Amino acid sequence: MANLAINGGTPVRTEAYPSWPTFDDSDLKTFEEIYRSGVWGTNGSKVPEFEERFAQFQGVKYGICVNSGTAALYVALKAAGVGLGDEVITTPYTFQATVVSILMANGTPVFVDTLPDGFNIDPSKIEAAITPRTKAVLPVHIAGYPADMDGILEVTKRNNLVVVEDCAQAHGAEWRNRGVGGWGHLGCFSFQSSKNLCAGEGGIVLTNDRKLYERAWAIHNCGRAPSDSEFEVEAFGGNFRMTEWQGGLLLSRLERLDGEVNLRNANMRALDAGLGEIPGIKVVPLDSRATRGGCHGYKAIFDPEEFEGISRETFIKAMSAEGIPMRHWYTTPMYRESFMESELLSAKPDYSKVSCPETEKLCKNGLALSQSILMGTEEDMADIVTAATKIRRYVGELNS
Ligand SMILES: Cc1ncc(COP(=O)(O)O)c(C=O)c1O
């Protein structure tokens, strides 16, 4: 008789995991207030209040709300002076928007591999990628795992490079007890629907530098200065503004964020402890200097050899059958995406020659659970460990 649910055995669980976003009627009050004010776009109070409160939450001085995380990265790169032909060093293991924003700013993406058995850019490999055209480094705190900001700042300061942090997946994440987004010159967050703080769409640029703040402000608002009337244009810029609807919703949801981040961190540690006991599943705890994860989902690395030759896809299917909605993660290093043929590139680097072996391994073997699962109970986490343990025990029932 089969034991594994994929072969007709009894699944570990049948109840659904928490979905996202969670919400209640408290947000409705905010919408009614905005609706009745008649101020739905510029000159409202919700967006400026949220800019101040979110910047404070991350421990950074200034915030500029924009209409997406992609816009935040674009505005930050332009504020940092990235232009035609400037090289921007980044990680190939990320969402496409990181790289697309560099292309939109007319920059040239240069890829540096991720850490062995880690998810973020390897600072020890950055120096070798620097050329006279390098303008900036764009680390990504992928899935809320803070990148090694000590290593990144050491090399970027020595080489006088700008640092733009992609924090789209890292709300509440901390490196050495200080929020991400304020370690580099500029930090960029997304509030798109799936994100741990969300408003459907939206983003924010954070900075501690007044001059960069003013430049980014102009770029996000048609080239105006904060004090200008709507008819004066002082600099290059477009309309990347956020609406009051988003500002109001984000203000209300920010109240819950701290508790939610702590819950996800506790659940992530429980999964690390449980799954870390299973041969063939490599858990990746936070760097010891990362005092809090953003936890945009739970991630681990599958090792087919250690798992008796079973493929990642077979393992994922077996987990799903047990009632655990496990998924793979990014499957293609950014240098192999077709959009890297972009006509926006001033000189086309030969990306077919780029190879980042650690990222290639991650693309083959990354495992993921969505962030809403980390909003579950201790029992919900225990079921995940039970299902993986069961599959390991009865692995003989599976064909690779
Ligand atoms: C790492 C990363 N950077 C940038 C973005 C872009 O954010 P948005 O979708 O709000 O434009 C995302 C969104 O998924 C992301 O995951």
Question: Across residues 232-259, what is the average pLDDT?
Answer: 94
Q: What does the alpha-carbon distance between residue 171 and residue 164 come to, in Å, rounded to a whole number?
A: 15
> In which domain, by residue range, is 149 found?
26-253
Relative to the CA of 101, which ligand 1 atom is closest?
4
The DSSP bridge pattern shows strands 162-166 and 186-190 to be parallel
- Residue 365 contacts residue 312 (beta carbons within 8 Å): yes
400: confidence class by pLDDT, cuts 50, 70, 90: low
Q: Is the pLDDT of residue 299 over 70?
A: yes
Which of 253, 286, 307 delimits the end of a domain?
253
- Residue 65 contacts residue 71 (beta carbons within 8 Å): no
Lowest mean pLDDT across 65-69, 290-294, 396-400: 396-400
Question: Across residues 372-394, what is the average pLDDT?
Answer: 98
Q: What is the 3-state secondary structure (H, E, C) of the chain?
A: CCCCHHHCCCCCCCCCCCCCCCCCCHHHHHHHHHHHHCCCCCCCCHHHHHHHHHHHHHCCCEEEEECCHHHHHHHHHHHCCCCCCCEEEECCCCCHHHHHHHHHCCCEEEECCECCCCCCECHHHCHHHCCCCEEEEECECHHHCCCCHHHHHHHHHHCCCEEEEECCCCCCCEECCEECCCCCCEEEEECCCCCCCCCCCCEEEEECCHHHHHHHHHHHECCCCCCCCCCCCCCCCCECCCCHHHHHHHHHHHHHHHHHHHHHHHHHHHHHHHHCCCCCEEECCCCCCEEECCCCCEEEEECCCCCCCCCHHHHHHHHHHCCCCCEECCCCCHHHCHHHHCCCCCCCCCHHHCCCHHHHHHHHHEEEECHHHHHCCHHHHHHHHHHHHHHHHCHHHCCC
- Residue 188 contacts residue 64 (beta carbons within 8 Å): no
Write the CATH number for 276: 3.90.1150.10
Task: Say how many Å lie between the CA of residue 199 and the centre of ligand 1.
Answer: 13
4-45 per-position pLDDT tens digit: 999 999 999 999 999 999 998 888 999 999 999 999 999 999
39-54 per-position pLDDT tens digit: 999 999 999 999 999 9
Task: Say how many Å lie between the CA of residue 247 and the centre of ligand 1.
Answer: 18
Q: Is the pLDDT of residue 287 over 90?
A: yes
Which of 195, 228, 253 delimits the end of a domain?
253
- Residue 336 contacts residue 356 (beta carbons within 8 Å): no
pLDDT at 193: 97
pLDDT at 229: 64
Does 17 reside within a domain?
Answer: no
100-136 per-position pLDDT tens digit: 999 999 999 999 999 998 999 999 999 999 999 999 9
pLDDT at 348: 82
Q: What is the mean pLDDT of the chain?
A: 96
344: confidence class by pLDDT, cuts 50, 70, 90: confident
Q: Are residues 357 and 387 in the same domain?
A: yes
Q: Is the pLDDT of residue 359 over 70?
A: yes
Write the CATH number for 217: 3.40.640.10
Q: Are residues 49 and 141 in the same domain?
A: yes
Pocket test for ligand 1, best of 169, 188, 296 (most atoms within 8 A of CB): 169
How many separate domains does the chain show?
2
Pocket of ligand 1 (CB under 6 A): 68-70, 94-95, 97-98, 140, 166, 168-169, 190, 192, 203
Which of 193, 224, 253 delimits the end of a domain?
253
Report the amino acid identity of residue 323.
Answer: G
Q: Is the pLDDT of residue 82 over 70?
A: yes
307-329 per-position pLDDT tens digit: 999 999 999 999 999 999 999 99
Task: Say how many Å lie between the CA of residue 190 and the centre of ligand 1.
Answer: 6
Q: Are residues 241 and 286 in the same domain?
A: no
pLDDT at 230: 66
Q: Are residues 59 and 160 in the same domain?
A: yes
Q: Are residues 169 and 280 in the same domain?
A: no
Does 4 reside within a domain?
Answer: no
